[in-house]
Structure 1
Amino acid sequence: MPPLAPPPLMPPPLGPSGGLPRYPAHFGAPRPLPPPPRQPAPPKVHRLSPQNTLLALGVLLILAAGATFLAVNWRSLPVTAQAGIIATLAALAFTASIPASRRTLTGTAEALALLGTGLLTVDLYGARALGLISPTAINTPTYSAIIAATIAVLTLLMTRAAPKVVTYGVITVIAGQLALPLLLLHRTTLPIILAALLAQVLLTLFLSAKGTPAIRRTGSITAATVLVCILLTGTANTLWGLLTESTTYQTAAVTCLAAATGIAILHKRPLPTTIPSGIGEAVCAAAAAFAIATTLPQYADWLTTAFATALAITGLLAPRRTGKFAVVLHTATITAAAVDIVYCMAREDLRQLGYLAAIAAVLAVYAALRRVFDPVPTTAVASLSAQLAIVLFASDGYINAWPAAIALAALATTGIAIACAYAPPRADLNAVVGGVGISGGGVGVGGGGAPGPAPVRLGSYRPLELVLLITAACAAVLAEVAAATTATFTATGVVLTLTAAPLVAYGMNPRRRPALPIAALLFTGANTAFMLAANAHKLEWYTLPPAILLLTLGILAWRNRSSWISLGPGLLVGLAPSTFAASTLTADPLTTGTADWLRATLVVAAAVALILLGVRRSLQAPFLIGAAATAKIAIAQLLDLTPLLPRWITLATAGLILLTTGATYERRLTQTKQATRWISNLR
């Protein structure tokens, strides 16, 4: 009978409700531990070994010995013997590097290759210095080109005999770059030299691509270095041509060709990942744009502006706004615009700078409408550029101060009008509802007996709305400065009116009530400017229009709050100055005070109307202001007539008043308290 199988393991029974499960009675096989996390391999650090150090020092010492040998023994030995000795040593070094490389003596082979190249270079230069080759027979650049070509050819042949020696390939690439420019120097023009170097760059990349990795890296580095030198030389030459007013269109063409070639090479062979993406394309584009921008002013000043504008329009209309193409286009646009701006500033051409600013404003408006870029900074650029253009035109005398002030005021009006569309449509709990609230407390209009409205915080404004308001304020300030330079005050009044008009519409939004007092202040200033321009001397011309405006705004924003907040400012501005002016004493009020009597009569009529309005509507501000104005006029007129009355009448009247007050003191005190309580209950 087979043995019975062990019973299967059952899951541990659960404990009571809410408790932990019971401790299991049977345990399974232990689970294997997870493998430890792999540590990343430390980066490989290339350190100079003792062998390489010794070999390098040995090569340097032998080269120094060769140079010293030629310098010291030039009298004791013939020049041909000295040159032959150094050449023999160089040949021995070249020859010894071949078996060293085949026996995997890498360090020794590299040192011998470097030693042979150095000795050959010292020998060739020393032979000319010691007179073996006459300096007049061949000039220094040409002789250096011959030496570079000789070394390049010899090291190229050595790469066939010792292909494992990296030094030969590297020296071949480096020495091959020096022969052509040294040979063409002083023999042809700069554009031809740059074009030849560009062809050499392509040839270097093509040939080095077939070699070892070290040769490919060396070819890439040398080609990039030569290409950068071509770009720098070309841009420097075009800049010098601009400064000296000489023609450099050929150099500019070669520079642009080199930049295009560099961009094409980078498309096929990108830079290492350690270098930021797009930096090579940006350098090439900047060089080409700089060369063109510094060449075009040699023919016409506006050509550079047209070139920068064409690039900007292309960037706005391009279907792709990211990637290498966008980097090239934006870099070229910024470079051309910067060159144009600097050139115009150097020539103090304010009109051309104004055209640049106007073009920037138009393009920024298009970009903001099409949402090519972020509308917030684009809107700021559009408004500020337009303002700068107007200021530059006015400074250059292209337009007068009057049109400049009106144009700047129109910009401010447009900005505020557009901001009205971006204001929130309805108020929330943190906004001002039906009143004016200014942070820091000063003005509040609203209703009810409730506490004052919450202040409008800066964070409640949308970014685009805030930018529009700030740029509009800047335009308004500039417009006022331009208006101040005119001969009359009319320009100031027009500017203030144009700025205040859209503020009224903006302030009608319940969350934007602080704009209403600002509009009232601007309208007051505009009215004052118009009256000064009209040479008006009556006080009421300066007080009644602002008073009417304040009363209108107060009535529009009135929500059953205190009448001092909604009606008090307008009533005080309209009635208080006239009341004080009507109280002025005259020498003969019955004959020479006609104007004061007319003003006093009108003030009393307005004050009585305010008293009746206050009593009828239970409004405290109209009642007290009207009563104070009536009392002022009455006291002033009484003081005017007092010198004409007999002295005993004045004394008798004062005595009767005191007797009546003393006899009915308790009743008058009670009536005064009742009147005070009634006045305090008014709104």
Structure 2
Amino acid sequence: MQQPVATAPLPPLPYRTRPPQVLLAVGAVLLVSAGAAVASAYGGTPARALLLALAAVAAGFSLRSARARLRSSEEVLAASATGLAVSASAVGGDALGYAAATALLAAVFLALHRVAPSTATWPMASWVAAQLAVLQVLDAVPDALRTQAYLGVALMGLGIALFGRPVVARLALLTTVPWWVAGVVSGSTTAWTGTGTERAVSASLVVVAGLGLVVTRLRRVLEPLTGPPKAAPVLAGAVAGAAVTGASSALGTGAVTAAGYAGVLLASVAAAVLTAWRRGLFLPLSLAAGTVMTALSVGRLLAGQEWTALSVLLVLTALPTVWVAVRRPEDRPLALPVAVWSLAGAALLAIPDGVLSPTAAATALTALYAVAMAAGAELDTASRRATAIAAAVCAAAAVLLVVARDRPWVLAALLAVQGTCTLLWAWRTWTTQRTADDAELSREAWRVGAAQLVVAAWVAAASADVGAVEWYSLPAAAGLLLAAGPGLLRGSSWANWGPGLVVAAVPSTVLAVVAADAPRAVAVLVVAAAVLVAGGRRALRAPLEIGAGTALALALGLSVRALPWPVASALVVGGVLLAIGARRERRPVAGFATRLADLR
């Protein structure tokens, strides 16, 4: 059998070097330091010529080492040539001359890279020289073009990071960050505060810069430098969305509304269409950009009190959100409530400018409640709950609007419609329940729907100025029966039928006896008999006992009332004594269990 060969762990990086590499590094540092000292101390054409000559010699030996495949020598000599050449370009002259010299060096280093592609120093040297050239002329660049300068360098660096060899790509990305940040800040500022086409140009450049940053995520070697997977896309999307919104803000309310809607479309379409690796890369970008665009547009419209435009924007927001909910079932728990809230907000924001009256807005919110409940009843548990919560907000807003306008009949009608929709939702949820959560949701909905109908009946009764207690007790009793829901058919009769029947019977029975109301007494007796018979027919204890008790209580009460007061008092006292005696015989306490002969 072959035995695995144990290998010693690699030592830390500084201790992996060999003596020739140490000599090369020390020699390069001394050579470049001496060249920089000569340039600083003497200057002039002779010093520049000397440094350029030394740089040319070092570059020549670097090329020769590259052909001989002496990797350490070619890189160190190329670095020495770069340092000497840059020092020579800084000798004497003004900023423009220095910029021209470093730009020429960038071109020379790029040519050397073409000659010796194995040397990583040449492309890095060309990139550094190009940045130095731009820095030298930056003060002379007009303010209107400074954003283009920043982002132009940043895009060049991102291109190198995307296509360069790994070590060059990492260096290019690190050195591009300051340019990218400066360009994005400058471009966003111009997009918000500039004039004319400056806004559009700056916003476009910021968008391109953001896309360039996102594309760098495609290179695996750059992942350690770009942070968490969603960090770069979210950052790029946020700055791009802010710049686009800023550029559109100068074009008026219509453009701001369009920008907000574009943000909604961007986020919605990306969520519905993107798949595989494109979804992981571009969905955070689209969501961030769309969210920022919509939020900033809404903020601008709110600041300008453009209520109608806000209402239109929210209506448009709901349309693609519904489309996402249809295409992607996994997004429905979020998409459907957003659509409902958007339409509800649109109805409310249509009030200040008079597009809708408060009553019309309340009617629209109730219609939205009905549609949301009808659609939500056919969905899965998570989507059903989320949609019901959003619909409940619409119902509450409609009620508050009508209450504020003091329209009781309208309030009663809206509550009746809402209660009916809630009960239909509860019934549908009960018949299609799949989990225990569905059953619990259905029970809660039966109670809520019953409460809505009871309040609607009470409001209508109060508005009609009717005084009979049955206008309030009977709706309450019906509400208690409805709140029991399917328990009326399956559960304990006392737990489900009892509360409603008691609430219906007690007030009317008491009034029939106390007020000597003959028509009420006849009605109570007839209904009690019907309930008694129905309870016996359906084998339900609560209706049977409550019907019998109501009839007996009514008869006894009327009989007692018909007697003279002394006789009636004797009957009442006698009945109480009989009840106490029977109870204490069954459960005696101190004194009641003692014989009369033993009493003191």
Same fold (TM over 0.5): yes
Instruction: Figure out how many residues of one structure are paired with residues of the other and give that number.
Output: 553
How far apart in 2 are the matches of 1:517 and 1:257? 53
Equivalent position to 1:406, from 345, 355, 363:
363
Match for residue 417 of structure 1?
Answer: 374
Q: Is the 8 A contact 1:90 1:115 kept in 2?
A: no
Equivalent position to 1:504, from 396, 399, 423:
423
How far apart in 1 are the matches of 2:220 and 2:39? 45
Match for residue 538 of structure 1?
Answer: 468
Instruction: Give the C-alpha shift of residue 622 in structure 1.
Output: 4.0
Report whether the alignment pairs 1:322 with 2:275: yes
Give the residue type in structure 2 aligned to 1:306: A
Normalising by structure 2, we get a TM-score of 0.69
- Tell me: CA distance 1:106–1:328, structure 2 relative to 1, closer, same or farther (3 Å): closer
Normalising by structure 1, we get a TM-score of 0.62
How far apart in 1 are the matches of 2:493 and 2:158? 89
Match for residue 309 of structure 1?
Answer: 261
Report whether the alignment pairs 1:88 with 2:50: yes
- Tell me: CA distance 1:59–1:493, structure 2 relative to 1, closer, same or farther (3 Å): farther
How far apart in 1 are the matches of 2:25 and 2:175? 28
Instruction: Give the C-alpha shift of residue 607 in structure 1.
Output: 4.2
Instruction: Give the C-alpha shift of residue 175 in structure 1.
Output: 0.6
Stretch moving more, 184-193 or 173-182 = 184-193
How far apart in 1 are the matches of 2:115 and 2:539? 116
Instruction: Give the C-alpha shift of residue 295 in structure 1.
Output: 0.8
Stretch moving more, 105-114 or 525-534 = 105-114
How far apart in 2 are the matches of 1:287 and 1:124? 37
Match for residue 589 of structure 2?
Answer: none
Match for residue 438 of structure 1?
Answer: none
Give the residue type in structure 2 aligned to 1:302: G
- Tell me: CA distance 1:495–1:106, structure 2 relative to 1, closer, same or farther (3 Å): same
| Aligned partner of residue 348 in structure 1, secondary structure | helix
Q: Is the 8 A contact 1:156 1:169 kept in 2?
A: yes
How far apart in 1 are the matches of 2:362 and 2:339? 18
Equivalent position to 2:190, from 225, 241, 244:
241
Q: Is the 8 A contact 1:237 1:251 kept in 2?
A: no
Q: Is the 8 A contact 1:201 1:226 kept in 2?
A: no
Report whether the alignment pairs 1:356 with 2:313: yes
Q: For 1:424-465, what per-residue CA distance to the aligned partner results, in whole angstroms no more than 9, with x for missing partners?
A: xxxxxxxxxxxxxxxxxxxxxxxxxxxxxxxxxxxxx64444
Equivalent position to 1:299, from 251, 266, 282:
251
Instruction: Give the C-alpha shift of residue 366 in structure 1.
Output: 2.6
Q: Is the 8 A contact 1:364 1:378 kept in 2?
A: yes
| Aligned partner of residue 405 in structure 2, secondary structure | coil
Instruction: Give the C-alpha shift of residue 341 in structure 1.
Output: 1.2
Q: Is the 8 A contact 1:583 1:637 kept in 2?
A: yes
Q: Is the 8 A contact 1:413 1:499 kept in 2?
A: yes
- Tell me: CA distance 1:168–1:570, structure 2 relative to 1, closer, same or farther (3 Å): closer
Instruction: Give the C-alpha shift of residue 489 in structure 1.
Output: 3.8
Equivalent position to 1:485, from 404, 418, 425:
404
Give the residue type in structure 1 aligned to 2:57: T
Report whether the alignment pairs 1:179 with 2:179: no
Instruction: Give the C-alpha shift of residue 542 in structure 1.
Output: 1.0
How far apart in 2 are the matches of 1:568 and 1:359? 50
Q: Is the 8 A contact 2:260 2:313 kept in 1?
A: no
Match for residue 251 of structure 1?
Answer: 201
How far apart in 2 are the matches of 1:469 and 1:249? 44
Instruction: Give the C-alpha shift of residue 287 in structure 1.
Output: 5.9
Match for residue 588 of structure 2?
Answer: none
- Tell me: CA distance 1:654–1:177, structure 2 relative to 1, closer, same or farther (3 Å): closer
- Tell me: CA distance 1:536–1:228, structure 2 relative to 1, closer, same or farther (3 Å): farther
| Aligned partner of residue 542 in structure 1, secondary structure | helix
Q: Is the 8 A contact 2:271 2:324 kept in 1?
A: no
- Tell me: CA distance 1:341–1:108, structure 2 relative to 1, closer, same or farther (3 Å): same
Give the residue type in structure 1 aligned to 2:542: A
Equivalent position to 2:344, from 387, 392, 405:
387
Give the residue type in structure 2 aligned to 1:299: L
Q: Is the 8 A contact 2:151 2:209 kept in 1?
A: no
| Aligned partner of residue 406 in structure 1, secondary structure | helix
How far apart in 2 are the matches of 1:532 and 1:386? 32
Report whether the alignment pairs 1:621 with 2:569: no
Q: Is the 8 A contact 1:404 1:479 kept in 2?
A: yes
Stretch moving more, 291-300 or 410-419 = 410-419
Q: Is the 8 A contact 2:366 2:418 kept in 1?
A: yes
Instruction: List runs of 5+ in structure 2 lacking aligned partners.
Output: 434-438, 586-600
Instruction: Give the C-alpha shift of residue 399 in structure 1.
Output: 4.2
Report whether the alignment pairs 1:475 with 2:394: yes
Match for residue 25 of structure 1?
Answer: none
Q: Is the 8 A contact 2:479 2:500 kept in 1?
A: yes
How far apart in 2 are the matches of 1:373 and 1:385? 20
- Tell me: CA distance 1:310–1:323, structure 2 relative to 1, closer, same or farther (3 Å): farther
User: CA RMSD for the aligned pairs?
Assistant: 5.4
Q: From the two aligned structures, give the one with the greater helix fraction.
A: 2
- Tell me: CA distance 1:60–1:650, structure 2 relative to 1, closer, same or farther (3 Å): same
Q: Is the 8 A contact 1:489 1:529 kept in 2?
A: yes
Equivalent position to 2:79, from 114, 138, 152:
114
How far apart in 2 are the matches of 1:529 and 1:538? 14
Match for residue 146 of structure 1?
Answer: 100
Q: Is the 8 A contact 1:412 1:476 kept in 2?
A: yes
Instruction: Give the C-alpha shift of residue 148 in structure 1.
Output: 1.8
Give the residue type in structure 1 aligned to 2:469: L
Q: Is the 8 A contact 2:151 2:183 kept in 1?
A: no
Instruction: Give the C-alpha shift of residue 335 in structure 1.
Output: 0.8
Instruction: List runs of 5+ in structure 1 lacking aligned partners.
Output: 1-32, 423-460, 585-592, 670-683
How far apart in 1 are the matches of 2:278 and 2:551? 80
Q: Is the 8 A contact 2:191 2:244 kept in 1?
A: no
| Aligned partner of residue 485 in structure 1, secondary structure | helix
Larger Rg: 1
Q: For 1:598-653, what per-residue CA distance to the aligned partner results, in whole angstroms no more than 9, with x for missing partners?
A: 545544554455556667877643454345445555666677677x65x6x67987
How far apart in 1 are the matches of 2:235 and 2:78? 37
- Tell me: CA distance 1:629–1:254, structure 2 relative to 1, closer, same or farther (3 Å): closer
Stretch moving more, 41-50 or 354-363 = 41-50
Q: How does 1:557-568 map to 2 (within 5 A)?
A: 559=489, 563-565=493-495, 567-568=497-498
Match for residue 449 of structure 2?
Answer: 519
How far apart in 2 are the matches of 1:119 and 1:520? 89
Instruction: Give the C-alpha shift of residue 571 in structure 1.
Output: 1.9
How far apart in 1 are the matches of 2:531 and 2:33? 111
- Tell me: CA distance 1:539–1:266, structure 2 relative to 1, closer, same or farther (3 Å): closer
Report whether the alignment pairs 1:49 with 2:17: yes
How far apart in 1 are the matches of 2:448 and 2:114? 88
